[in-house]
Chain A
């Protein structure tokens, strides 16, 4: 904990540095990286600790986001306070996690991957189509005019003035997300070192042996699903309030794969790895976005669409990491030994 103090200080100063020297748009990118980090930490519980490959993880993000959207927008005319809907969204996502997890528990790893992928797609298809006969999700248009993130009269999405200095909204948001991330990290870390975390890792290592020392493997797998989903749901709520808009487009399979990439790139089951992985993969693509500019100046025209380039990079990251460094960039010593096969 003590060692991380300088890191926390740096994390607190970072948005100001970025704001002053680079610009507001990059603070916004930082905000998004924090959201992704929360998602990765959630997926890490499922994939990294319990060893369950979940390819539909983004669905829980979607559940959280839509819960927020429905409870605080003109869609149903509801405008509940943040501190009520965030937990509700997280809870809904958690319940979904358990419901979706339950039928898949008996499955072996690769089946699980496909089924979770299927679930992810089902949820998206429903979001797209639940506009008739009763309009719940407003279909592909999505839900707009969502209430911003606010506590009492303080609105995070608006800039404020503090002792004469104007604080841009993206910096408010940054601190809010940072707080959420720090709490998530502390909780994850404690779980990892606890009886629960050890039970997950035992299941990951050898499910049969784990059951023979009395671990209720189904229950613990469900718990991993549920907790991971809850974390996803929480970030989904923050996402909806930040964007003030949600649509099914944000919750495609690609997003699930991207979060998996973040977890894998840094090092599954190891929090520092997950942090590095998700920060890298949420900032690098933004740099690539700017590559259109230098492609033009260097090659005369845009040869490779930056959006494609981004996904190609993700794809290569997955393949190359697994082939060359399956333990991730910053692996835990445990995982390193496990994935380096003889």
Chain B
């Protein structure tokens, strides 16, 4: 019983990871860059949604409407943020050695966190409104409507992204840019624009994930993006970085692994380790995957060309 309950919880969490992982994977697929600041875009999305929901409710709007408006605005802000990040910090370094954009990315991540700390303070902010909602019980397993909505909405977004990448002109341009930038340019693709759009789409998904995360845990904080980002990155690597299906699978899998791990770690270690070690799981998974299957579950085995 506990097992299935943990699986349900894990799937909910995992679908949030998957949305964030998609952002990492798309950027990596196209530019071979780990966008360290991606997790912090999630945080910005979450905190903006949190504050605006509160504000709209104070203006007398109902909770659902406030949430909807706030989320919409937060998505827009994050899209803009993603665009700016790429333009200012990554584009000038596109041909520089790897270390350079990586270091800028770390700097940006820190910058976003500290700016958020200035704006929102350092304490944990509660998410406004009553999120209890109804829940469904079945053989002792409880699923809240929030969990259900998170899961369904995530699947829907992933489906839409899949359609976008595989059945639109932009998607084709993205795929050919991922193959090879010079080649795509030869084929008449405006690769700069494609890269911008990739960041924008990734950031929009990040914002949605941020809203979900802040609702699920019902608190938000300027540091919340760090761990979430790291786990989502792990999910992307687990599935095979650069691979959309991989990110989705990796996210769900990591969520479940983590939930089960947190649930059972006490039993496994005879109480030596408690659930306070649960955040270590993601790291261990990451390290194990990188050692034993560095291309991830769905990644192909590419050998460096000499």
Contact = CB atoms under 8 A, between A and B. Distances in A.
Q: A contacts B directly in the complex (CB < 8 Å)? A: yes
Interface of A: 47, 51, 53, 55, 103-104, 106-107, 109-111, 113-115, 117-119, 121-122, 125-126, 128-129, 132-133, 208, 253-254, 257, 260, 264, 268, 304-305, 308, 311-312, 314-319, 322-323, 326, 338-339, 341-342
Interface of B: 32-34, 89, 92-93, 95-104, 106-111, 113-115, 117-118, 226, 230, 233, 237, 271-274, 276-277, 279-280, 282-284, 286-287, 290-291, 294, 304, 306
Contacts of B110: 254, 257, 311, 314-315, 318
Contacts of B306: 208
A44 B190 CA distance: 39
B287 to A, nearest CB: 6
Contacts of A314: 107, 110
Tell which of B106, B272, B280, B286 has the most Cβ of chain A within 10 Å. Answer: B106
Contacts of A311: 110, 113-114
Contact of B277 (A125, A253, A317): A125
Contact of B102 (A109, A119, A257, A338): A109
B89 A319 contact: yes
Given A118-B230, A122-B280, A133 B272 contact: yes
A111 B230 CA distance: 12
Sorted nearest first, the 9 A-B pairs with minimum C-beta distance are A318-B107, A315-B111, A118-B283, A315-B110, A319-B107, A322-B104, A110-B34, A341-B96, A311-B114
A231 B95 CA distance: 33
Contacts of A208: 304, 306
Contacts of B291: 103, 106
A117 B280 CA distance: 12
Contacts of A109: 98-99, 102
Contacts of B114: 308, 311-312, 315
Nearest to B291: A103
B10 to A, nearest CB: 20
A318 B237 contact: no
Contact of A53 (B102, B226, B287): B102
Most buried by A among B97, B103, B108: B103
Given A314-B110, A322-B100, A114 B34 contact: yes
A289 to B, nearest CB: 15
Contacts of B93: 322-323
Nearest to A103: B291
A113 B34 contact: yes
Contacts of B107: 314-319, 322
Contact of B103 (A107, A260, A304): A260
A254 B95 CA distance: 28
A107 B295 CA distance: 10
A122 B99 contact: no
A115 B288 CA distance: 10
B131 to A, nearest CB: 29
A242 B221 CA distance: 34
A323 B272 CA distance: 48
B287 A260 contact: no
A111 B110 CA distance: 19
Contacts of B108: 315, 319
B118 A304 contact: yes
A104 B111 contact: no
A107 B294 contact: yes
24 contacts: A103-B287, A103-B290, A104-B290, A106-B290, A106-B291, A109-B99, A113-B106, A115-B286, A118-B282, A119-B283, A125-B276, A125-B280, A126-B280, A208-B304, A254-B110, A257-B106, A308-B117, A308-B118, A311-B110, A312-B114, A315-B110, A319-B111, A322-B100, A322-B104
Contacts of A322: 93, 96, 100-101, 103-104, 107
Nearest to A129: B276
Contacts of A126: 280
A235 to B, nearest CB: 22
A338 B95 CA distance: 12
Nearest to B286: A118
A334 to B, nearest CB: 13
Contacts of B102: 53, 109-110, 113
**Most central of A104, A268, A319 by chain B CB within 10 Å:** A319
B287 A118 contact: yes
Contact of B95 (A107, A125, A260, A342): A342
A316 B114 CA distance: 11
A110 B33 contact: yes
Nearest to B96: A341
A114 B98 contact: no
Contacts of B103: 53, 260, 264, 318, 322
Contacts of B96: 322, 326, 339, 341
Given A118-B283, A319-B108, A322-B96, 9 more contacts: A106-B291, A114-B233, A118-B282, A125-B276, A125-B277, A133-B272, A319-B89, A341-B96, A341-B97
B287 A115 contact: yes
Given A103-B291, A107-B290, A114-B233, A338 B97 contact: yes
A108 B276 CA distance: 31
Nearest to B270: A133
Given A125-B277, A129-B276, A312-B114, A51 B99 contact: yes
A169 B220 CA distance: 44
A312 B306 CA distance: 42
